[in-house]
Amino acid sequence: MALRLFLGNQYPLDRIMPASNWRELLFLELTDLKRYDLFQGHFSCGLLDLLPADVTPITFLREPVARTISHLKHLRRDPSFSPMAYEVAAGRGLDELVRDERIIKLCCDVQASLLCNYIPGETILAGLRADERAGHIPDPDAFAAPADLATQPLPRRNFDPEGSTDPNALSPETLAIIRERNAIDIALYEAVKQRVSMRPPVTQGDIGWNLLAYGIYQPISEPVEFAMDGPIPGSNWYAWEDSAGGGHRWTGPLTETTLELPLAPGLDFEISMQVRIEKLGDLTVRAGDAELGVRVDASDGHMHRIAFWVPAERVERDGLTTLRFETREVFQASATDLRPLSFLVRALSVSRVEPAGTAAPLPAVPVPAPTGDAPRRRAGRR
């Protein structure tokens, strides 16, 4: 879920296929799928038959034992996830659930099954249209970041109201059952992990350089306003929500939110925001190890219009400049909204771009000596 939301933030909403499972796909015209750039959700590999030929699939594997525990907890907690399984699993402990064949068979070797149990997409849709039983499609909501995103800060957005479960805290017998019932997934995961470990490491500098080199990002050299319902280049951002005030995004579930901006070198940038936070003094903004002074232009209760300067010496040349917003804590808005929330953003823009030296100088900070190799610039694809 964390990675799905992260990727979803990189595309306009009208470029993301709205269907996230097979039944929702029934309500879309298959000829319209070429309109979309991002496809994600609870599907098996047969979906590829229905997508445009130039779509590149990205596969993520999660450690199988942890994935199975998460799956079991989800089945017993959320009736919308699988109503039939919830009737059987609700209120029961993990030790009991792994010994119930009706439940554990839904959670075994799920990742290998989704990759290998090929059923053409048209066949699945035809079965659903005829209201025939198409079988259980397990939850593929998994996943460690791929190599090209491994250095991006991907928060744990799939918040577990029960709290995390350490597999080692389970009884040895329960843990052994989970491992035995996931032998294929475990073998697949370990083989892929070994193969990926032999790849050269990818740094944050590599990622930013490639985004600029391939023209995916253009350097920002003039004022620009970010649409809150469009892509937000950073992490710890929840999806856009419509509201009477024109829409907004909450940040969370972590206390640190980032913006990753392709700022052009040799310039000072003023960033303006409209934020909602209970105590504005709890919000700090940093570029690297330097704290940026926040100016308050207007306040109305907990809503504030703020701005700060990013001086040229804090701009990352040939890469992305990371701005970190830190709050003291997160909170829960209501008993029905379980998301940990940090602060709300209603407007975001690069409001001024000036020659270097316009911004007030920052206090001097010690610069650590470089360690290891310099960021590797990746060669273009051939």
* CATH code of 267's domain: 2.60.120.260
Q: Which domain holds residue 271?
A: 218-355
Residue 310 near residue 268 (C-beta atoms within 8 A): yes
CA dist 234 to 1, 9, 65, 144, 262, Å?
Answer: 16, 8, 30, 18, 11
pLDDT at position 57 is 85
pLDDT at position 211 is 83
Sequence-distant (6+) residues with CB within 8 A of 39 are: 17, 33, 47, 51, 55
47 occurs within a structural domain: yes
pLDDT at position 138 is 33
121 occurs within a structural domain: yes
Task: Examine the domain organization and report whether 243 and 190 are in the same domain.
Answer: no
Q: Which residues of 169-179 are buried (b: 16+ CB within 10 A; e: fewer)?
A: ebeeebbebbe
Q: Dig out the tokens for 358 from the structure.
A: 């316009």
Among residues 197, 227, 242, which one ends one of the domains? Answer: 197
pLDDT in tens, the chain (382 residues): 566 777 777 788 888 999 988 888 988 998 899 999 999 887 888 888 889 888 888 877 889 999 999 999 989 988 877 888 889 999 899 999 999 999 999 998 888 888 876 666 666 667 666 644 444 333 333 333 333 333 344 444 445 556 667 777 889 999 999 999 999 999 999 998 888 888 888 887 888 888 888 888 899 999 999 999 888 888 899 988 988 777 899 999 899 999 999 999 999 999 999 999 999 999 999 999 999 999 999 999 999 999 999 999 999 988 999 999 999 999 988 877 878 999 999 999 999 999 998 877 655 444 444 444 433 444 433 3
Helix %, strand %, coil % of the chain (to 5): 30, 20, 50
380 occurs within a structural domain: no
376 occurs within a structural domain: no
364 occurs within a structural domain: no
Task: Examine the domain organization and report whether 171 and 279 are in the same domain.
Answer: no
Task: Examine the domain organization and report whether 228 and 188 are in the same domain.
Answer: no
Task: Examine the domain organization and report whether 34 and 136 are in the same domain.
Answer: yes
Closest Cα partner for 251 from 236, 241, 239, 235?
Answer: 236
Task: Examine the domain organization and report whether 275 and 349 are in the same domain.
Answer: yes
Could you give the number of structural domains in the chain?
2
168 occurs within a structural domain: yes
Provide the 8-state DSSP code for 281.
G
367 occurs within a structural domain: no
Task: Examine the domain organization and report whether 186 and 234 are in the same domain.
Answer: no
Q: Taking CA 156 as the corner, what is the angle to CA 155 and CA 157, rounded to the nearest 5 degrees?
A: 95
Q: Dig out the tokens for 353 from the structure.
A: 């771009």
pLDDT at position 362 is 58
State the Cα–Cα distance between residues 160 and 139, nearest whole angstrom.
16
pLDDT at position 135 is 43
Task: Examine the domain organization and report whether 13 and 152 are in the same domain.
Answer: yes
Give phi and psi for 11, each to the nearest 5.
-130, 145
pLDDT at position 153 is 42
254 occurs within a structural domain: yes
Task: Examine the domain organization and report whether 264 and 296 are in the same domain.
Answer: yes
State the Cα–Cα distance between residues 77 and 83, nearest whole angstrom.
10
Compute how many other C-beta atoms are within 10 angstroms of the C-beta atom of residue 267.
Answer: 22
Task: Examine the domain organization and report whether 230 and 349 are in the same domain.
Answer: yes
